Chain A
Amino acid sequence: GNSVTQMEGPVTLSEEAFLTINCTYTATGYPSLFWYVQYPGEGLQLLLKATKADDKGSNKGFEATYRKETTSFHLEKGSVQVSDSAVYFCALRSMDSNYQLIWGAGTKLIIKP
């Protein structure tokens, strides 16, 4: 079946460091891929998405590229801020999962000033 695997957290970085959070997936066909972010005490919100191979999603300085050859959708940011501290979830949606989102376990990011 479909699945999403994220790197375990927490990931702790200093302000202005480069961020990578790894996400790999298993799915047949051509799923759409998403990153959601959950700030403390809040619900999740969409950060970015990509709907086909080689697409790059971007928002708020974050980027992720849909790599079909490596079945990956790694989240990157060039210079993180304390305000980026949150939990980040990778997810996919495909016909095989009846169009429901399949979620990774989430990666907690802590940015120290």
Chain B
Amino acid sequence: NAGVTQTPKFQVLKTGQSMTLQCAQDMNHNSMYWYRQDPGMGLRLIYYSASEGTTDKGEVPNGYNVSRLNKREFSLRLESAAPSQTSVYFCASKEQGLFNSPLHFGNGTRLTVT
């Protein structure tokens, strides 16, 4: 079982460049999430998608866009990267409607913006 797969694992961008982080899950989950992880700050929610066709802003959405391409895939786009977006990005999925069901995480994408 692959679970949640994120690509790429590492990326270096120059300020102003754009890129898309890809995420796919094979667990038939309705809900998908994008987080960023910064030292000493835990995880912060960027965007989430409760179901196919819907997306909502999280705590730190500025500078990002998302697309829920289908039930499996949820991508995160940086249109014009900034050094403040240097971080580790995690995609996660969850069964919808089960309040306490766990989040399943990918292994992360480490992004550096110079």
Task: Count contacts on A: residues with CB < 8 A to the other chain.
Answer: 21
Q: Chain A interface secondary structure, helix, strand, loop or mixed?
A: strand
- When C-beta atoms are compared, the residue in chain A nearest to B44 turns out to be A103
Binding stretch for chain A, among B13-21, B77-85, B99-107: B99-107
- When C-beta atoms are compared, the residue in chain B nearest to A4 turns out to be B42
Assuming A42-B107, A43-B105, A43-B106, is B99 touching A99 (CB within 8 A)? yes
What 0/1 readout, one digit per residue, does chain B (90-111) give for beta carbons within 8 Å of chain A? Answer: 1010000001101111111000
CB distance from A42 to the nearest CB of B (A): 5
Which of A's residues lie within 8 Å of B, judged by CB? 4, 32, 34, 36, 41-46, 49, 51, 89, 93, 99-101, 103-106
Which of B's residues lie within 8 Å of A, judged by CB? 4, 40-45, 48, 58, 90, 92, 99-100, 102-108
